[in-house]
A and B are shown apart, each in its own frame.
Chain A
Amino acid sequence: MSDRNAHYVAPVDETQPGDVDQVKLAKRKSNMWIDAWRDLRKRPLFYVALVLSFSVLILALFPEWFTNADPSYGDLSRSNGAATEGHPLGFTKLGYDVWARIVYGAKTSLTVGLLVVAITAAIGIPMGAIAGYYGGRVDSILSRIGDVFFSIPYFLAAVVVMSVMSDWRNPLTISFAIGGFAWASLARIVRAEVLRNKNLEYVMASEAVGRSRGSTLLRHVLPNSMGPVIVALTLSLGGAITAEATLSLLGIGLNGYFSWGNEIAQAQQTLRTNPSALFWPSLALTLTVLAFTFLGELIRDALDPKARARR
């Protein structure tokens, strides 16, 4: 019998199936978000941004905790007055308390910012996800619609809408005026992310076990595409707050609401004589935008393993 024809018989495997299955996984649970959180916790700037954004939130929710002054009470006898007891930042030309107006303006800024983000997400995410996931003709149509909205600078579009809507200048309409055009860039981001993810193995696996296409998109593709979307939305919060203030500065923003933009527009007239009435609301606005910008930037960094490795 030649060796060449001999069949090799493997020794009987004594390992029980249970032993093989009990592979020790890493003790620490880990996914994209947990890793990002571990990274964020180590960064001092993150805490600065967090404290700032929470301060704005608290100001917006409980303005009466921070001032006893009535923001709508103007007394001309204290026009452009300096700071006094209970009125730490002085008064405007019309005798309004600057600090009280800032405190009560936080709510407007935050409301508009969050509404714009919600509208942007509500339009941009489905548009981008459907275009990217289904491709073909659906993609062409949705992407061309997106191109049109993307090609109008969203601030100019908001100017047109708010100019015409002279009788409906409230947080809801201004949010639609801004978010109704700002969604196009988010849709592009979502589409790119979905395109990147849709041909990966886990999507195939999900469809192989019988999950429908739509359900796969919602359960697997979209959640895995959320990283850049969260970053873009956080960053757009600052942009939306700026846009509201700018529209209010132009006099086509909010009517009859406390808004930092309105305060700045009023104080603009007394730039030479009473610059502090302009300075404080501007500072409040800048710090708020700064907080959201840094939050977005830090989340972006934390979600990107390459950026983490570089540090």
Chain B
Amino acid sequence: MTRYVLRRLLQAIPVFFGTTFLIYFMVFSMPGDPVLALFGDRTPSDAVLQAVREQYNLDQPFFVQYLLYLQGFFTGDMGVTFSGQSVNEVFVRAFPVTLKLVTIAVVTEFLLSVGFGLLSGLRKGKFADHASLVFALVLNSVPPFVALFVAQYFVGIKWGLAPVTVGANATWGALLLPGVTIALTIYVVGMRLMRGSVIEAREGDYVRTAYAKGLTSKRVVPVHVARNSLIPVITNSAASFGALIAGTTVTEGIFNIPGIGKVLYDAILRGENSTVVSFVTILTVMYIVVNILVDLLYAVLDPRIRYV
């Protein structure tokens, strides 16, 4: 196990440097002067331009800039946002909100996957199986922002069952609607995993044994079939945790949820590129970290993985 963990962590090192370098490279190889862009329509004097260039190390060669940027990253100094707030502060304020939203979405996704996957697997080939797969695929094809607008319009505006936007006070209840909506658009993957492993488990010897010794479906299904089928669904949910943290931009923008995605959303809409880049980097690094944790979780849950 220790060897597996070490190997997985070592693999992540080139990925970390590669991704940060790539993002940095993309931004600085693009046409256009970031310093001039900073001033918008105004034309600053040359002295001001020079000072700003020095402040952001833009007068240094590209590679030195990248190293300085990494140094800041590792010492916990992520720079400032466009409006002058420290990125760290903004992050600490916004992250718990995103975490809440993503938790709701992942928990809902997990429940939907297990429920519909079990139904589908137990009714393999029957109408309920086909119907729940087609239904989940249709939901999956709805672009997330369309689903969010529909939910916002009907549940929020028309029927008044939930707040239309979340605003500063992001309580669990207020985040329920966007969280559940997102879960509805992604649960098809987990549902299929559950369905597959339920079908496999039902044909397993231990399930036949359980029936043979006289247990009824009431006990066999939850204890023997479902429990043994959960591993892939759990790891899938964990993986979507990472993907959702990285992908809440549109959700938080539409529902006005003060999380990380909203910070990014506002920065994109206002064209504040430096802020966009800082937060994309943070989200990418978090995505990588969550993916490592998912692999480790997989190894903990499934001993076969450890000894490859």
A residues near B (Cβ < 8 Å) are 45, 144-145, 147-149, 151-153, 155-157, 159-161, 163-168, 238, 242, 245-246, 249-252, 264, 268, 271-272, 275, 278, 282, 285-286, 289-290, 293-294, 297, 310-311
Q: Which residue of A lies closest to B243 (CB)?
A: A153
Q: Which residue in A155, A271, A278, A286 is a CB contact (below 8 Å) of B247?
A: A155
Q: What is the CB-to-nearest-CB distance from B8 to chain A, in angstroms, rounded to a whole number?
A: 12
A149 to B254, CA, bound (A): 28
Main secondary structure of the interface of B (DSSP, over half): helix
* Residues B152 and A271 in contact, CB atoms below 8 Å apart: yes
* Residues A246 and B145 in contact, CB atoms below 8 Å apart: yes
* Residues A163 and B22 in contact, CB atoms below 8 Å apart: no
Contacting residues, chain B, for A252 (C-beta < 8 A): 268
Main secondary structure of the interface of A (DSSP, over half): helix
Say yes or no for B180: interface residue by CB 8 A criterion: no
A304 to B135, CA, bound (A): 22
Interface centre among A45, A159, A160 (most CB of B within 10 A): A160
Say yes or no for B283: interface residue by CB 8 A criterion: yes
A157 to B31, CA, bound (A): 17
A86 to B94, CA, bound (A): 48
Q: What is the CB-to-nearest-CB distance from B285 to chain A, in angstroms, rounded to a whole number?
A: 9
Query: Given A163-B276, A251-B268, are A152 and B143 neighbors across the interface (CB < 8 Å)?
Result: no
Q: What is the CB-to-nearest-CB distance from A308 to chain B, in angstroms, rounded to a whole number?
A: 13
Chain B interface size band reads: 35 or more
A165 to B32, CA, bound (A): 8
* Residues B146 and A156 in contact, CB atoms below 8 Å apart: no
Q: What is the CB-to-nearest-CB distance from A164 to chain B, in angstroms, rounded to a whole number?
A: 4
Contacting residues, chain A, for B51 (C-beta < 8 A): none
Q: What is the CB-to-nearest-CB distance from B284 to chain A, in angstroms, rounded to a whole number?
A: 5
* Residues B288 and A151 in contact, CB atoms below 8 Å apart: yes
Contacting residues, chain A, for B249 (C-beta < 8 A): 155, 159, 250
12 A-B pairs in the complex with CB atoms less than 8 angstroms apart: A151-B291, A152-B22, A152-B23, A160-B277, A164-B27, A168-B31, A245-B145, A252-B268, A264-B145, A268-B254, A286-B143, A293-B137
Contacting residues, chain B, for A148 (C-beta < 8 A): 14-15, 18-19, 22
Q: Which residue in B265, B276, B287 is a CB contact (below 8 Å) of A153?
A: B287
* Residues B246 and A297 in contact, CB atoms below 8 Å apart: no
Contacting residues, chain B, for A293 (C-beta < 8 A): 137, 140-141
Contacting residues, chain A, for B141 (C-beta < 8 A): 238, 286, 289-290, 293-294
Q: Which residue of B lies closest to A297 (CB)?
A: B137
Q: Mark B130-152, 1 if CB is under 8 A from A, else 0.
A: 00001001101111111001101
Contacting residues, chain A, for B254 (C-beta < 8 A): 268
* Residues A152 and B19 in contact, CB atoms below 8 Å apart: yes
Contacting residues, chain B, for A249 (C-beta < 8 A): 145, 250
Going nearest first, the 8 A-B pairs with the smallest beta carbon separation are A148-B18, A290-B141, A164-B30, A242-B143, A282-B146, A153-B246, A293-B141, A289-B141
Contacting residues, chain B, for A156 (C-beta < 8 A): 246-247, 280, 283-284
Q: What is the CB-to-nearest-CB distance from B2 to chain A, in angstroms, rounded to a whole number?
A: 23
Contacting residues, chain B, for A250 (C-beta < 8 A): 249-250, 253, 265, 268-269
Contacting residues, chain A, for B146 (C-beta < 8 A): 264, 282, 285-286
Q: Which residue of B lies closest to A243 (CB)?
A: B143
A204 to B273, CA, bound (A): 53
Q: Which residue in A147, A163, A168 is a CB contact (below 8 Å) of B18?
A: A147
Query: Given A147-B14, A250-B249, A264-B145, are A271 and B265 neighbors across the interface (CB < 8 Å)?
Result: no
Other A-B pairs beyond A147-B14, A165-B30, A250-B249, 11, CB < 8 Å: A147-B15, A148-B19, A153-B243, A159-B268, A160-B26, A160-B280, A164-B30, A238-B141, A250-B269, A271-B149, A272-B157
Query: Given A153-B287, A271-B152, are A285 and B143 neighbors across the interface (CB < 8 Å)?
Result: yes
